[in-house]
Structure formats: structure tokens, C-alpha cells
Amino acid sequence: MTAAPIHATAVAHWTPGAGWRAIVVSGPPGAGKSDLALRLIGRGWRLVADDYVHVFASGDALYATVPETIAGRIEARGVGLVGACARGVVRLVLAVELIDTAPERLPDPEFLTLAGRTLPLLRLKGFEASMVEKVAAAIALL
């Protein structure tokens, strides 16, 4: 297994019948990656990694894990680094890219390729109040 580090945040959610499934959140610095993760954690999700995520392929799937040096910590901008209940290796099922403009109302399906595998891609405006609900709706469709 060769894990490629990417500048992103990953969080996981337990789904009955499917187990732990994770999303990877990307975007430029200050776009709201950790903010979205903190909101999801507040709704029962678990941190996988904040700021840097190791992504690797196994079989047809993609997985995420945390670099050891940052395990169990997330940046709360304006507060500092805080501890968070974390998961280990988790299967990625969705990529979220935070953008600074309004996303298309009815976008065509898009995909992101990481480590030679593809994930469905959801583009959201960073810091939008409904980000958590949109992520929950998207992951429920998978």
C-alpha cells in the first residue's frame, strides 16, 4: 500500500448496512474544509484526518487514513487545534470540493480521480449554511 498525501480533510459516518463511509473535502486554504468537518462531527460523524489525508487504493475502492503526526486533532480557526474522536482507515465514497461561487443548481455528475480510482464529486460553496444537509443528502444517494 502506497498512501499519497493530499491537502484535504476527511470525515466518516456510520451507515447501517454499509458501515463506516467517508468523504474527502478539498479546496483552497480558508475555504472551510475544517469548518464543514466540525459541523459534521457535531452531528455524529468522526474525524479521519484534517489538513492532510493519506489516500490509497485497494481493489476497486479508495481509502483514507491520517498521517500519524496529526491524528485525532482538527483546527478550529480562531480557537486552535482541538481533539476529536477519530476513525482509522475508512473507505471513501464521496469527494466534496469547496468553491467560492454558487454551485450549479442541477449539475451534471462529476468525478474526482485519486490514486487511480474515481469518486463522485460534489461542489459546494464554502461556509454555506446548508453544506451539512447537502452532504448528508448526497451520501444517502450512494
CA 124 to chain centre: 12
Predicted pLDDT at 4:
67
Residue 1 clears pLDDT 60, i.e. is over it = no
Domains of the chain by start residue, with CATH: 4-140 (3.40.50.300)
Residues 88-116 have a mean pLDDT of: 95
> 97 has which bridge partners?
26, 123
Residues 94-110 have a mean pLDDT of: 95
Residues 97-119 have a mean pLDDT of: 95
DSSP secondary structure, 21-88, as one string: EEEEEE-STTSSHHHHHHHHHTTT-EEEESSEEEEEEETTEEEEE--GGGTTEEEETTTEEEE--B-S
| Between 4 and 94, residue with greater pLDDT | 94
Residues 24-52 have a mean pLDDT of: 96
Q: Cα dihedral angle (53, 56, 58, 64), rounded to 10 degrees?
A: 0
Ranking 46-50, 56-60, 76-80 by mean pLDDT, the lowest is: 76-80
Predicted pLDDT at 38:
96
pLDDT range class, residue 101, cuts 50, 70, 90: very high
Residues 95-107 have a mean pLDDT of: 94
